[in-house]
Amino acid sequence: CTYSAILACLVTSNSVAAAAEQAHRMTHDALHTTIKIGKTTPISSELPSSKLASAIGSVVSLPHMYRLIPQCQTNFVHAPEGATRPDEVLGVRGRLVRVGRQVILTGVISLGGSKHVASAVCAMRGRFPDMRSAINIRYSQEMLSRLVRAGFTIVYYDRESEPQYIKESGSSILWGISRAVEQCEEPPDAICHRGDFGKEPMIILFGVTPSDVASKIRKLIPPTKLGDDPNSH
């Protein structure tokens, strides 16, 4: 398959090296989007990775989306049915990155592409299994106000009260999200924390599907700009 792809890429590439690199990416992507053939073969638009890719494409093109990107940048994830661990969750192996006034996708969608946001989804699904998608966005008072005005349910957890052994084990997100939802009767739309020493405050927005999360993002971005440009601080 790779050799055939190289031959095809030579038609549009200026060098063998460029064709080989392009063919390698094509083969890699093909392997990561394979499906098991059963009684019927689902069309590509129904695959979980395609749904996530479509939602990512819709949010990165939103005006002023760059103002929602935190310093640690953003990941957008979706848990296929049955996923219980971060390495079973689809995410961006890279980030959604703020570049000036734009947001660009750096990397590819793959299983295990995210650690922190995927851990948040796994923790959320421990109590609310239908909540399978999430995105992290910048924490600010104005963003909290927009969440309230949009009618979203918000819950918090305090990273300063995180036990030392949790910090050392690298399971801060799992601990925090589980703690935040343990008393919830209904799944919250957003879970926030105000940071800790060396830890950026954060908002994680949850939804049933990637398109559900994308629609919530759109409600947070009106035609007017969002507060001060974070790049100016």
Report in angstroms the alpha-carbon separations of 215 from 5, 29, 47, 101, 114.
37, 27, 19, 21, 21
pTM above 0.85, yes or no: no
Spell out the domain ranges in the chain.
Answer: 1-32, 43-232
Per-residue pLDDT of the chain (233 residues), as tens digits, is 766 766 766 666 557 777 777 777 767 666 655 555 555 544 444 456 889 999 999 999 998 999 999 999 999 999 998 899 999 999 999 999 999 999 999 989 999 999 999 999 999 999 999 999 999 999 999 999 999 999 999 999 988 788 888 888 878 899 999 999 998 999 999 999 987 777 899 999 999 999 999 999 999 986 655 554 545 44
**CATH code that applies to domain 43-232:** 3.40.225.10
Q: Are 111 and 89 in contact (CB under 8 A)?
A: yes
